[in-house]
Structure 1
C-alpha cells in the first residue's frame, strides 16, 4: 500500500505543480544545457480541445497510458470490490481533476489526456486481472484486510 501512496504523491508532484514552479525548473534545466524541447511538461499554458490531435506523438501516447496504469492496478490489487467500471470511473475522475487543476494554475490542458489516462487506468485493471489469474495466491497476499484507525 505504501508503494501506491508514494506513486500518488509523485503523480501529484508532476501533474499539480503550478506554472511558476515548472518555469523555474525549466530555467534551471536550461542553465544546465537542456532546452526541454518536445516535453509537454515544459509547455505551460496550452489548451487542446481537439480530440486525437496528440496521438501522433508516441511519447505522449505511451506516457499517458503508462502513467495511469497504477490507478487501475493498485486499487484492484489492494481492495476487494474493485471492478473494471470503478477503475474506469476512478481514472476518469482523477484525470479530470488533474486536467482542470492544470487549467487553473496555468499548465497545459489536453482533452487527449482525459481519455488516454482513463484508458491507462483501464489497462492497469486488466493487467491486475491477468496477474490474478496467473498467480491468484500471490495477488491475494497484498489485499488490505482491515483498515486500522
Structure 2
C-alpha cells in the first residue's frame, strides 16, 4: 500500500502539469541569453531560415494567383517537368535583390526537374492538391524550391 501513494502522486503531477516544449531555435535563443555565442549564431541562422521559408510561401501564393493553369496542367495533373524551371526562374528573379541566385547549369537544372517530376508523378503517384482536387501550385512552388536546395544543390556539392 505504501508504494501506491507516491506512484499516484507522480501520475497526478504528470497528467496535471502543462507540457513545456520549445523549438530548437528557442532553446538556442535561451542559451544565447545565457552567453553562449555559438547558440546565438545558430538561433540567428534558424530565424533567417524560418523567415526565408515564410517568404517562399508568399512567393508561392503569388505564383499560384498569376499562373495560367492550362499551360501547366494535363488532365488535372501538374506538369512538374515544365513547372520546375518556371518556378525557379520566378523565385530567383524575385530574390535577386537579396543576392540569391541560381548556381547550377541548365543541364543540371534539367536533371533536377526530371528527378522532381519522376519522384512526385511516377513514384509517389500523388501531388499537393487544393480543396477542389486541382494541383496546389502554392505548395508545389514551395516543394520545388525546397527540392532545389535540398536535393540539387547538395547533390552537386
TM-score above 0.5, yes or no: no
Normalising by structure 2, report the TM-score. Answer: 0.28
Q: Flag the structure with higher helix content.
A: 2
Normalising by structure 1, report the TM-score. Answer: 0.29
